[in-house]
């Protein structure tokens, strides 16, 4: 018998089970035979691999998605079998939620949703990057301080002091640089952070899932730093923090627009709810919902009020980019902070294992985002490996230099999230030590690639752009700052195809020329440009490649560099 409509919020059906992906439906798992058990274990391995170490089991559901439900006894036996299966593959299970199904029978029947998580064999924890956006003083750094340090704020900014990197930030209480913070979850879904005075290495060792928060600057004057963080660190998700008492103000709309333009899925946190009345919080949430539903955004807001909502939000958010979860919380009273933790714990990675595998098979390419000199280590670069695999001791070339050359170098050691690591895989962020390599030859925006890649570099490129906002007309000879991934440089508009000038909202293919030095670009890369109030977005459509003799490898081996 099918349920007669069930409860309003419990549809009698789920969507049918997909062959790939990490969600598995199981009607029941009561006392399976040995052969069936082995088959179930193999199936669990596959689901875990699809979710890069995470899978969700819906118990009491048929493969077509019909919610049948199980009696108490059958459910207990099924969960016991599931636990045995998880032990066999070395995973832990956590019950996310259970719900009753209305049937005509007198016995209550339930469905249980279970998260299975396994630390992968090569000890690669799941790593998600979340960019943190929001207006100045919306409480971003404080919220991160509370999440990663594990103690609440005193209402005067104590929690964020651990995050600041520069003296002027501590004095003004404002973030001007980009800082990284880590929050771990172990395989049982418990938070692992700096409380209990753990070090970063200990957090990495005891977590099976790591969330790296990229704390970006909220103040308008640091907008270029914020754009750089969003384009070069390739975050998986963005968290937009809005203060309940000020609502949508200042750079909030711009940050929302940036996340939309770069197609980074985002969720919203309304902070400081301890400072204002319920009515004020509701007003801010309504204001957000109104903006999200506008034709430009086209998002479905989902207000999270309970653990159940948080589970639903995390799963739907990853499946459909249109859903925008909204959390209302306080970093001082700790209200609803747990809901955000539940959500972050089960947020699945965006790319599945197949896409990751394909990226890893390409040639090595590492984007240089930061450069430091570390005593006794030498020159160190930070950034993201956009494709391939990078191992300790590998020989790569870095460039382009101002005259378009690539220089040889050797990767001496690799660190991920402040702990040593032998192999770096596509999509992961890390710092690479380059030993005695001369720091002055490096700059942000360079790439390190494998020597056989023969990288294309260009000074002149074309892009299809949309002008978002412009005070006067945009025409030939106009100078703008162009951001493409980790590249940031001033370029001149050489030509606008088919038009003399562009006005706000118009689309065109434009030819740009970098004014300083050539850069490494790829066709299809997303592009942002700005100059004062002028802003535009688009993507690279064509490159005028520069070729140099074997890309200048031989000439570049000066006395101060590593040669083979």
Q: Are residues 258 and 371 in the same domain?
A: no
**pLDDT range class, residue 113, cuts 50, 70, 90:** very high
Q: What CATH number did the domain enclosing 205 receive?
A: 3.40.50.300
* Average pLDDT of the residues in 396-406: 91
**Do 314 and 344 belong to one domain?**
yes
Torsion-angle region of 551 (φ positive above 0: left; ψ -120 to 50: alpha; else: beta): left
How many whole angstroms separate alpha carbon 374 and alpha carbon 529? 33
Same domain? For 114 and 138 the reply is no
- Examine the domain organization and report whether 480 and 513 are in the same domain: yes
Task: Tell me what the mean pLDDT of segment 28-50 comes to.
Answer: 91
CATH number, domain containing residue 409: 2.40.30.10
What does the pLDDT read at residue 351? 66
Kindly report the CA angle at 379 between 373 and 382, in degrees rounded to 5? 90
pLDDT in tens, 334-345: 999 999 999 999
Verify that 320 and 220 share a domain, yes or no.
Answer: yes
pTM of the model: 0.69
Q: Is residue 132 part of a domain?
A: yes
Mean pLDDT of the chain: 83
In this structure, the answer to whether residues 324 and 381 fall within a common structural domain is: no
Residue 138: the pLDDT is 83
In a domain, 532, yes or no: yes
Q: Is the domain of 330 the same as that of 385?
A: no
Of residues 165 and 48, more confidence is placed in 48
Above 50 in pLDDT, residue 3? no
State residue 168's pLDDT score.
44
Place of tokens 């975050």: 235
Quick check: is 13 in a domain?
no
Residue at which a domain ends, from 52, 84, 118: 118
In 395-486, DSSP assigns E strands to: 395-399, 407-410, 413-416, 419-421, 423-425, 429-433, 447-449, 457-469, 474-475, 479-484
Exposure letters 257-282 (e unless 16+ CB within 10 A, then b)? bbbbbbebbbbbbbbbbbbeeeebbe
Going by C-alpha positions, the residue among 458, 457, 467, 456 that lies closest to residue 510 is 467
Confidence of residue 170 (pLDDT cuts 50, 70, 90): very low
164 and 205 together in one domain: yes
Residues 232 and 346 grouped into a single domain = yes
pLDDT of 43 reads 92
What tokens appear for 368 in the block? 């240089």
Has residue 550 been placed in a domain?
no
Average pLDDT over residues 460-489: 87
In a domain, 81, yes or no: yes
- Phi, psi values for residue 536, rounded to 5°: -155, 160
Say whether pLDDT at 153 is over 50: yes
CATH number of the domain bearing residue 94? 3.30.110
pLDDT digits (tens, 9 = 90+) for 408-452: 999 999 988 777 888 888 888 889 999 999 999 999 889 999 998
Domain boundary among 299, 325, 350: 350
Element holding 320 (H helix, E strand): none
Tokens for 145, please give them.
């301080």
- pLDDT value for 561: 41
Tell me the Ramachandran region of residue 137: left when phi exceeds 0, alpha when psi lies from -120 to 50, beta otherwise: left
Average pLDDT over residues 295-305: 89
The number of distinct structural domains making up the chain is 4
Give residues with Cβ within 8 angstroms of 220, minimum separation 6: 136, 250, 251
Which residue range is the domain that position 520 belongs to?
A: 457-545
Q: Are residues 57 and 199 in the same domain?
A: no
Alpha helix ranges (H) inside 51-149: 72-89, 140-149
Is the same domain home to 320 and 358? no
Cα(270)–Cα(139) distance, rounded to whole angstroms?
Answer: 9
* DSSP code of residue 230: H
- Tell whether 207 is covered by a domain: yes
Q: Each residue of 459-490: b (16+ CB within 10 Å) or e?
A: bbbbbbbebbebeeebeeebebbbbbbbbbbe
Same domain, 345 and 410: no
Give 219 or 332, the one with higher predicted confidence.
332
Taking the C-alpha atoms of residue 82 and residue 450, their distance in angstroms, rounded to an integer, is 45
| 51 falls within a domain | yes
The domain boundary residue, chosen from 92, 118, 144: 118
Query: Angle at the Cα of 465 (from 460 to 469), degrees rounded to 5?
Result: 120
Note whether residue 12 is domain-resident. Answer: no
Residue 179: band (very low, low, confident or very high) from pLDDT cuts 50, 70, 90:
low
């Amino acid at each position: 018998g099918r349920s007669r409509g069930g409860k309003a919020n419990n549809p009698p059906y789920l969507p049918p089970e997909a062959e790939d992906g990490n969600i598995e439906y199981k009607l029941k798992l009561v006392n399976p035979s040995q052969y069936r058990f082995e088959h179930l274990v193999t199936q669990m391995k596959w689901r875990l691999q699809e979710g890069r170490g995470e899978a969700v089991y819906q118990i009491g559901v048929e493969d077509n998605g019909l919610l049948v439900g199980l009696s108490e006894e059958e459910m207990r036996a099924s969960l016991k079998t599931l636990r045995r299966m998880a032990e066999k593959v070395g995973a832990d299970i956590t019950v996310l939620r259970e719900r009753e199904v209305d049937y005509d029978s007198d016995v209550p029947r339930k469905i249980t949703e279970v998260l299975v998580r396994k630390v992968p064999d090569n000890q690669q924890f799941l790593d998600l990057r979340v960019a943190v956006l929001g207006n100045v003083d919306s409480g971003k750094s404080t919220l991160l301080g509370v999440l990663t340090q594990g103690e609440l704020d005193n209402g005067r900014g104590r929690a964020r002091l651990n995050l600041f990197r520069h003296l002027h930030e501590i004095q003004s209480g404002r973030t001007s640089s980009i800082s990284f913070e880590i929050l771990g979850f172990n395989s049982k879904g418990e938070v692992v952070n700096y409380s209990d005075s753990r070090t970063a290495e200990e957090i990495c060792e005891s977590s099976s899932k790591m969330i790296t928060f990229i704390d970006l600057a909220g103040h308008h004057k640091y907008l270029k730093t914020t754009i750089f963080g969003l384009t070069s660190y390739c975050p998986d998700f963005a968290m937009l923090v809005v203060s309940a008492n000020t609502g949508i103000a200042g750079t909030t709309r711009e940050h929302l627009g940036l996340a939309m333009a770069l197609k980074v899925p985002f969720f919203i946190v309304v902070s400081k709810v301890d400072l204002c009345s319920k009515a004020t919080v509701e007003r801010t949430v309504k204001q957000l919902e109104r903006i999200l539903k506008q034709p430009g955004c086209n998002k479905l807001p989902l207000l999270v009020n309970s653990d159940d909502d948080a589970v639903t939000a995390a799963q739907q958010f990853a499946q459909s980019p249109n859903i925008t979860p909204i959390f209302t919380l306080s970093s001082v009273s700790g209200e609803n902070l747990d809901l955000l933790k539940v959500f972050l714990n089960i947020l699945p990675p965006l790319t599945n294992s197949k896409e990751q595998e394909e990226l890893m098979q390409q040639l090595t390419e590492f984007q240089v985002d930061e450069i430091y000199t570390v005593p006794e280590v030498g020159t160190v670069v930070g950034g993201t490996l956009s494709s391939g695999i990078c191992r300790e001791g590998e020989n790569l070339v870095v460039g382009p230099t101002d005259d378009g050359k690539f220089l040889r170098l050797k990767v001496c050691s690799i660190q991920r999230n402040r702990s040593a690591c032998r192999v770096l895989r596509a999509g992961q962020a890390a710092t690479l030590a380059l030993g005695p390599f001369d720091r002055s030859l490096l700059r942000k925006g360079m790439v390190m690639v494998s020597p056989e890649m023969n990288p294309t570099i260009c000074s002149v490129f074309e892009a299809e752009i949309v002008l978002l906002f412009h005070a006067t007309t945009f025409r030939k000879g106009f100078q703008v700052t162009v951001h493409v991934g980790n590249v940031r440089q001033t370029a001149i508009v050489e030509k606008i195809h088919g038009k003399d000038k562009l006005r706000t909202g118009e689309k065109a293919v434009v030819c740009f020329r970098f004014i300083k030095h050539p850069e490494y670009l790829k066709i299809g890369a997303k592009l942002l440009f700005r100059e004062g109030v002028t802003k535009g977005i688009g993507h690279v459509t064509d490159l005028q490649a520069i070729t140099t003799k074997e890309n200048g490898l031989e000439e570049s081996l000066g006395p101060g560099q590593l040669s083979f």
